A and B are shown apart, each in its own frame.
Chain A
């Protein structure tokens, strides 16, 4: 991958901001969904779709495309935003999220939506599917790479580690996993439910080349994704430290917004903030819902 030009990083940041706004608008319109884990993944998803992935929105089935599996399926609105901005379907379609008949299902559906590679939403399955795709590339002599985005919560699942062991043992070097390490799962903080620390050492022990990075620093993300393509001996894991709800101050590390959509008022303030108007006033913040739903 070529080094990013000086304009490219700011442009990617701007795209990430745009995806976050679309994400908030979609969820508010739908009235349900998962803001926290989609916002934490916004910068990673931006760097994937607008920098790392070799793909063609005009030909979603192009056999040579890089594969992207969203293992943490509940975060799919941020991927829909990326697909729309990339040109897979019109942006106007985002307003149909979660409605009867829409290709934009609550969780990813590869039969309904162009650009979606796997049916996910049952956590812990995505890495195995990605391993299968990477193995298919090897068997078919194809050059495409496979990327899988995981949540920290789904590293609880045994299947994640079965897939990790296989990929490490078989040196699947065309496979890159990215961990959206936002430190929260559904019922609370990962540290309180089931901490998987030491995370880095676990992946290393399973035969992966591992890098840690700030998952909201676009320069670091782009560099880490470029680094992954240089590793020709092992699968690569990018442990991206992130903040759940990143970009909207009153959603940041506020796990109420794990699986509850913003109200119209919350969405309006969130959009203002994403437009650079600073955090909302104290009177509004006093009304924001917090804690477990």
Chain B
């Protein structure tokens, strides 16, 4: 089986895809309003603000207030999209996300940028590595981490139709294209990008590209790795995890997140439920990162294809 040579093609940053998709949605759905906390130029809600100034508010640097307000707007029949950096929105707005959004199960769409360590030089204070753990712990919240511009567009659109609270993490750097405009996306359904029989590489966000590159490298050694984009961490695609467990019997889960409470934890839980299999975790190993270029940080903290390859060999040996 010879796969076509893998080519890295950078697409839009997922935050840019969000900005475009949101401005587009604004035209179609008059219930959508947007709030940002003095980061509209970075989260890209500025695109919506320009197109629909009367449906946009910059609340200033006050994330907790922003989330509470969104709860009030949603309780009054609007569909608020709220954005800031992922660390500020989830950490500063957590109690408000709990009481004003999750508990009353209101349709607030939290789309937070600068997820992960690929934020780069700004360093730890701006790099969200705990957001998925925080947000999956809130009952009823859908939690998603799209890999590229196609996934982002589709999932932002899906979020509008979902009748409850949604969290979407976007990223700062340009994201390699791993999907096509035709790929079908559904909340809670993973996308199989490559079939395999020896190991499953399950990833989200920028790690999906790394997983594809790793699968390519492994194929050179005769190891057939499946690659799955698990863009939705919650609700997790239990059926897909089971099917992959049966097909490959071993998993590597890769994410730009702290190892506790992210995609890895979710997949391990799903496996333990019905189809136990060995798992290796490519993630931040209970550490903060630091300042540096995005590429240097991804390498230094073990989030590149090379690390997935090593993890795959380890997990296959444990089968």
The A contact surface, by secondary structure, is loop
List residues of chain A with CB within 8 A of the CB of B291.
98-100, 102, 105-106
- In the complex, what's the smallest C-beta–C-beta distance from A191 to chain B, in angstroms? 11
Which residue of A is nearest B39, CB measured?
A186
Check B38 against A122 for contact (C-beta < 8 Å): no
Q: Tell whether B41 is near chain A: CB-to-CB under 8 Å.
A: yes
Measured CA separation A186–B60 after assembly (Å): 9
Q: Tell whether A154 is near chain B: CB-to-CB under 8 Å.
A: yes
Which residue of B is nearest A153, CB measured?
B61
Which residue of B is nearest A108, CB measured?
B125
Instruction: Produce 1/0 per residue, B119-136, CB < 8 A to A.
Output: 011111110000000000
List residues of chain B with CB within 8 A of the CB of A99.
291-292
List residues of chain B with CB within 8 A of the CB of A105.
123-124, 290-291
State which size class the interface on A falls in.
Answer: 20 to 34
Q: Tell whether A200 is near chain B: CB-to-CB under 8 Å.
A: no
List residues of chain A with CB within 8 A of the CB of B64.
158
Q: Tell whether A123 is near chain B: CB-to-CB under 8 Å.
A: yes
Per the 8 Å Cβ criterion, residues 130-157 of A in contact with B are: 153-154, 156-157
Check B292 against A157 for contact (C-beta < 8 Å): no
Given contacts A122-B92, A123-B61, A157-B61, contact A186 B38 (CB under 8 A): yes
Check A107 against B126 for contact (C-beta < 8 Å): yes
Q: Tell whether B112 is near chain A: CB-to-CB under 8 Å.
A: no
- In the complex, what's the smallest C-beta–C-beta distance from B192 to chain A, in angstroms? 35
Q: Tell whether A33 is near chain B: CB-to-CB under 8 Å.
A: yes
Check A158 against B297 for contact (C-beta < 8 Å): no
Which residue of A is nearest B293, CB measured?
A100
Q: Tell whether B20 is near chain A: CB-to-CB under 8 Å.
A: no
List residues of chain A with CB within 8 A of the CB of B275.
none
Given contacts A100-B291, A185-B60, A187-B58, contact A121 B41 (CB under 8 A): no
- In the complex, what's the smallest C-beta–C-beta distance from A69 to chain B, in angstroms? 14
Given contacts A105-B291, A157-B61, contact A187 B39 (CB under 8 A): yes
Measured CA separation A260–B269 after assembly (Å): 43
Q: Tell whether A1 is near chain B: CB-to-CB under 8 Å.
A: no
Q: Tell whether A32 is near chain B: CB-to-CB under 8 Å.
A: yes
Check B123 against A98 for contact (C-beta < 8 Å): yes
Among B36, B38, B88, B124: residue with most chain A CB under 10 A: B38
List residues of chain B with CB within 8 A of the CB of A109.
123-124, 290
List residues of chain B with CB within 8 A of the CB of A74.
122
- In the complex, what's the smallest C-beta–C-beta distance from A123 to chain B, in angstroms? 5
Given contacts A153-B60, A156-B60, A156-B61, contact A122 B122 (CB under 8 A): no
Measured CA separation A293–B39 after assembly (Å): 11
Measured CA separation A278–B59 after assembly (Å): 39
Check A293 against B41 for contact (C-beta < 8 Å): yes
List residues of chain A with CB within 8 A of the CB of B123.
98, 105-107, 109, 121
Measured CA separation A158–B65 after assembly (Å): 8
Check A124 against B61 for contact (C-beta < 8 Å): yes
Check A32 against B41 for contact (C-beta < 8 Å): no
Check A185 against B38 for contact (C-beta < 8 Å): yes
Measured CA separation A185–B37 after assembly (Å): 11
Select which of A31, A100, A292 is within 8 A of B290 by beta carbon: A100
Q: Tell whether A120 is near chain B: CB-to-CB under 8 Å.
A: yes
- In the complex, what's the smallest C-beta–C-beta distance from A210 to chain B, in angstroms? 22
| Size of B's binding interface in residues, CB under 8 A | 32
Select which of A112, A119, A121 is within 8 A of B126 by beta carbon: A121
Q: Tell whether A194 is near chain B: CB-to-CB under 8 Å.
A: yes
Measured CA separation A107–B125 after assembly (Å): 7
Q: Tell whether B296 is near chain A: CB-to-CB under 8 Å.
A: yes
- In the complex, what's the smallest C-beta–C-beta distance from B55 to chain A, in angstroms? 17
List residues of chain A with CB within 8 A of the CB of B238.
none
- In the complex, what's the smallest C-beta–C-beta distance from B16 to chain A, in angstroms? 14
Given contacts A73-B125, A185-B60, contact A122 B88 (CB under 8 A): yes
Q: Tell whether B247 is near chain A: CB-to-CB under 8 Å.
A: no
Q: Tell whether B46 is near chain A: CB-to-CB under 8 Å.
A: yes
Select which of A98, A112, A123, A186 is within 8 A of B292 by beta carbon: A98
Check B290 against A193 for contact (C-beta < 8 Å): no
Q: Tell whether B157 is near chain A: CB-to-CB under 8 Å.
A: no
Q: Tell whether B62 is near chain A: CB-to-CB under 8 Å.
A: yes
Check B61 against A154 for contact (C-beta < 8 Å): yes
Q: Tell whether B217 is near chain A: CB-to-CB under 8 Å.
A: no
Q: Tell whether A30 is near chain B: CB-to-CB under 8 Å.
A: yes
Per the 8 Å Cβ criterion, residues 181-207 of A in contact with B are: 185-187, 193-194
- In the complex, what's the smallest C-beta–C-beta distance from A262 to chain B, in angstroms? 15
Check B125 against A100 for contact (C-beta < 8 Å): no
Which residue of A is nearest B125, CB measured?
A121
List residues of chain A with CB within 8 A of the CB of B126.
106-107, 121
Among B39, B40, B59, B124: residue with most chain A CB under 10 A: B124
Q: A106-B125, A120-B125, A158-B64 are in contact. List 19 more A-B contacts (CB 8 A).
A: A32-B120, A99-B291, A100-B292, A106-B121, A107-B122, A107-B125, A121-B122, A122-B87, A123-B61, A124-B61, A153-B60, A153-B61, A186-B39, A187-B40, A187-B41, A194-B58, A194-B59, A194-B60, A292-B41
A-B pairs with beta carbons under 8 Å apart, 30 shown: A32-B122, A33-B121, A73-B125, A100-B296, A101-B292, A102-B291, A105-B290, A106-B122, A106-B125, A107-B124, A107-B126, A109-B123, A109-B290, A120-B125, A121-B122, A121-B125, A122-B88, A124-B92, A153-B60, A156-B60, A156-B61, A157-B62, A158-B62, A185-B38, A185-B61, A186-B39, A186-B41, A187-B41, A187-B46, A194-B61
A residues neighboring B (CB under 8 Å): 30-33, 73-74, 98-102, 105-107, 109, 112, 119-124, 153-154, 156-158, 185-187, 193-194, 292-293
